[in-house]
Chains A and B, each alone.
With several copies, the nearest count.
Chain A
Amino acid sequence: MTVRVQTEDFDIGCELASMRLAQPSIGALVSFVGQVRDINGGDAINTLTLEHYPEMTQKALEAIALDAKTRWDVIDTLIIHRVGMLKPLDQIVLVAVTSAHRGEAFKACEFIMDYLKTSAPFWKKEASNQGERWVEAKVSDDEAKRRWDK
């Protein structure tokens, strides 16, 4: 179970290779990559700056990964989240989950993303030619998280 919060970019190929090669009992690797989009709500984005709460972020992400591990039969999880100033097409987040079979890995990976979006202390500020604005939380993210309560 690895959690990294960093300003530097990450190499998806290296990260996924070391995840899948860790154990020959791994049959499935599901991953999610989030990247900065060029447009949000009609405005062209120049930069996206991620602020976070360092003392809480690591703990919150580890708690989410642990929760996923208790819910599904996964072998390992990886969460890498960037902070600082990013631009369109930059990678923001990588979540990867390995398991023996695919169903568990798909569910755990989506669960981690849904919880990360609603529980991990990150805040995005966009800069466009119209100025800066804090990104608003989306109701759809709360709904996505609640699906897992059932």
Chain B
Amino acid sequence: MKIKVLYFARLKEAVNYSTEDIDLPSDIKTVTALKNYLSKRGEIWANLFNGKQVVRAAINHVLVDDLAAIHAGDEIAFFPPVTGG
């Protein structure tokens, strides 16, 4: 299942790039599962998603919670709590 993943702010600086295309195993079906999947890549990723700092997610430009389902072709963005205004 092909998806696009985007990173913003602190997360973008940590991974050192802003976007990547990923071909997910078919058993990765939620935001939580995706976070766990990415965490296995190594220390940088594990630190991002270990829950010490809140990471918000959006699917196709809409804020979602971690139980939200992922579908092929989705654009999934990870970022810290927003601080505009």
Q: Do A and B bind each other?
A: yes
Interface residues in chain A, defined as those with a beta carbon under 8 Å from any beta carbon in chain B: 34, 50-53, 55-56, 59-60, 81, 92-93, 102, 113, 116-125, 134-137
Roughly how many angstroms separate A59 CA and B60 CA in the complex, as a whole number?
11
Whether A81 pairs with B61 at a CB distance below 8 angstroms is no
7 contacts between A and B (CB under 8 A): A53-B61, A120-B82, A121-B58, A122-B82, A122-B83, A123-B79, A123-B83
Roughly how many angstroms separate A56 CA and B6 CA in the complex, as a whole number?
12
Closest CB-CB distance, B60 to chain A, in whole Å? 9
Interface residues in chain B, defined as those with a beta carbon under 8 Å from any beta carbon in chain A: 6, 8-10, 54, 58, 61-63, 75, 77, 79-85
B6, B10, B54, B81: which contacts A53 (Cβ < 8 A)?
B6
Instruction: Give the interface SS of chain B, mostly helix, strand, loop or mixed.
Output: loop
**B56: nearest chain-A partner, CB-CB:** A121
Closest CB-CB distance, A106 to chain B, in whole Å? 13
Whether B77 pairs with A134 at a CB distance below 8 angstroms is no
